C-alpha cells in the first residue's frame, strides 16, 4: 500500500469547496475528479485509461479488483462483481436466468 492520505478540509477535485471532517471530496465531487482525470490524462476515454494501466480484454480489471477485496455474485452464471454491499444488493434483485 502507498502512503496514508489525509483529508485537508478542502475538496480534492480542486474546486476549493470546504469539506466535512474526514472527507476528501464535497458530495459527488469524487466522480467529477475521476472524470476530469480521465479527460486530462487519457483523452477522456476509459479504454485508454485501462490500457495505460495494463488492463484490457486480455487482463481483467475486475479480476484484479477481486484480488484486492471485491467479490463476485454467487448466483450461477452471473458475472457481476463489486464491493460486498453492491453485490448483496445486486443478488437481492431478480436475475434473467431465474435466480433470486
Q: What is the pLDDT of residues 76-92, one digit of tens each?
A: 989 999 999 999 999 99
Look up the domain containing 52 and give its range. Answer: 1-56
Asked if residue 10 and residue 52 are part of one domain, the reply reads yes
Asked if residue 42 and residue 71 are part of one domain, the reply reads no
Structural contact between residues 84 and 90, judged by C-beta atoms closer than 8 angstroms: no
Distance, in Å, from the CA atom of 58 to the CA atom of 55, rounded to the nearest integer, reads: 7
pTM score of the predicted model: 0.75
Asked if residue 5 and residue 51 are part of one domain, the reply reads yes
To which H or E segment does residue 82 belong?
A: strand 81-82
CA terminus-to-terminus distance, the chain? 37
pLDDT at 1: 60
| pLDDT, tens digit (0-9, with 9 covering 90-100), for 2-46 | 899 999 999 999 999 999 999 999 999 999 999 999 999 999 999
Number of domains in the chain: 2
pLDDT at 99: 54
Asked if residue 65 and residue 46 are part of one domain, the reply reads no
Amino acid at each position: 500500500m502507498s502512503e496514508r492520505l489525509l483529508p485537508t478540509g478542502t475538496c480534492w477535485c480542486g474546486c476549493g469547496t470546504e469539506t466535512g471532517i474526514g472527507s476528501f471530496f464535497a458530495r459527488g465531487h469524487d466522480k467529477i475528479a475521476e472524470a476530469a482525470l480521465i479527460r486530462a490524462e487519457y483523452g477522456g476515454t476509459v479504454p485508454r485509461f485501462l490500457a495505460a494501466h495494463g488492463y484490457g480484454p486480455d487482463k481483467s480489471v475486475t479480476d484484479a479488483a477481486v484480488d484486492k477485496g471485491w467479490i463476485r455474485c454467487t448466483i450461477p452464471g452471473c458475472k457481476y462483481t463489486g464491493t460486498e454491499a453492491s453485490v448483496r444488493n445486486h443478488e437481492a434483485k431478480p436475475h434473467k436466468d431465474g435466480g433470486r
